[in-house]
Structure 1
């Protein structure tokens, strides 16, 4: 699945690595305004994909609200798409975090990117999410 920014340079790529009976394990790659990051081994439960799909469908139809997808460990990954005004402009926000260990310290390594997306890309995004849901079931 690919989410492209209106600026034509920003993107989020989600690649499914493995499905099982209760969810999907995937990796994410992003680039926005000179910041690039990737994270693998992210796990999302199928019911959370179904919930995101319903929120995304409502968002696409009503042009208001927010759709949010989180990993089984919410601090690890979250993707949200929200309507920012009455004209139907959308903002996508991706948060990723991994933990690093040094001596006795646990330190988070995190990145957050946000960028605008073209509202006409929502139907295609819905199709990709529906396929992701089908693959996970």
Structure 2
């Protein structure tokens, strides 16, 4: 019997990954004692959550299911590389810069909810309905 990976909605999973990575950048740049180990543990948790992001992405973007496995494998590989690189704590500033680059990758490959964007753009448009004022 296969085990189902628990996951939230696509927006929740994406938001979790992005906010966690942003926080990790700040922790690595502060370079306080023990912060590198906290970052490594957080990265390990993120690697475990990538499966949920893949499933949520496949469920949300039904036409693009096949590429989600490749995208998430790339993400897992990069996160694992960061974990391995942080074995030497002096690499923390470089990993912080690499995580920033990863966030750019995520912005393009893991888009925000396009339906919400379309709704917000429509709601700002003037209504085609008459306003009820006689001219």
TM-score class, shorter: 0.3 to 0.5
TM-score when scaled to structure 1? 0.33
Q: Judging by fraction of residues, say which structure has more strand.
A: 1
Q: Judging by fraction of residues, say which structure has more helix.
A: 2
Higher relative contact order (CA 8 A, sep 6+): 2
